[in-house]
A = this chain, B = another copy of it.
Amino acid sequence: MPKLGMPEIRRPQLINATMSVIDDVGLSGASVSLISKKAGVSTGIINHYFGGKHGLLEATMRTVLRQLGSIVKNKLREIPDDQVCARILAIVEGNFDRQQMESKYAKTWLAFWAQSMHDPVLYRIQRVNACRLVSHLTIELKKIRPHAEAKYIAETIAALIDGIWLRGALSPNGINPELACQQVRQYLEKQLN
């Protein structure tokens, strides 16, 4: 009887190893050999489960972004639809969630962002994610502001969030989640008054 559910074991194992290796040596240094060593398996396994290195990177990127998405979704679920500000802040907080603050996630996220400029598949995944953040924010803001203004504010908030991430990824101190939320909250409050 063959082992059941190996895919369910191997795939997360390899995706996690990929993030660790990217954290260690960057996307450019993340070779198949390094990743499989980190995961404790052979190199061939990557082609077996992901059809090649690119498939693994793609899956890793999807995972990073999916996790971010589900954190935001969970936070939103707890807040009634009419508490616009609270919902917006939940989205922001979701983006600075503790799990996301790990260096592993920040570096992987930025590495993929840079890479996606020259890779159609990664580009599409990245676009979906970038648009979703603006979209979530716009939906809330449209409840209290005209469409155009809602979109404008949403895009500014999105830029602020990503900018804090970006600078935090390169700062020796990393990101301070509380401070980050505070920066966005203050912008929002002044904007809505």
Give A contacts to B, CB under 8 Å.
25-29, 107, 110-111, 113-119, 123, 126-127, 130, 152, 155-156, 158-164, 166-167, 169-171, 183, 186-187, 190-191
Contacting residues, chain B, for A27 (C-beta < 8 A):
28, 114
| Inter-subunit contact A167/B130 (CB<8 Å) | yes
CB of A164 within 8 A of CB of B167, answer no
Partner of A164, one of B115, B152, B159, B169: B159
Contact of A170 among B26, B123, B167, B183 (CB under 8 A): B123
What is the count of identical protomers in the complex? 4
Residue from the list B107, B166, B169 in contact with A163, Cβ < 8 A: B166
Residues of B within 8 A of A113 (CB): 110, 114, 166, 170
* A117 and B123 contact, CB distance less than 8 A: no
The contact sample of 17 A-B pairs, CB cut-off 8 A, is A25-B118, A26-B119, A27-B114, A28-B118, A110-B113, A110-B117, A111-B114, A111-B117, A114-B115, A126-B170, A127-B170, A130-B167, A130-B170, A155-B167, A160-B163, A161-B163, A162-B166
Contact present for A163 and B170 (CB under 8 Å): no
In the complex, residue of chain B having the shortest beta-carbon distance to the beta carbon of A171 = B130
Give the chain B neighbours of A119 by CB distance below 8 A.
26
Residues of B contacting A158 with CB < 8 Å? 163, 167
- Are the C-beta atoms of B170 and A159 separated by less than 8 Å? no
User: Which of B26, B123, B126, B187 makes the CB contact (< 8 A) with A118?
Assistant: B26
Structural contact, A156 and B183, CB atoms closer than 8 A = yes
Give the shortest distance, in Å, between A159 (CB) and chain B (any CB). 4
Contact status B167-A118, CB under 8 Å: no
Q: Which residue of B lies closest to A107 (CB)?
A: B117
* Chain B residue with the shortest CB-CB distance to A25: B118
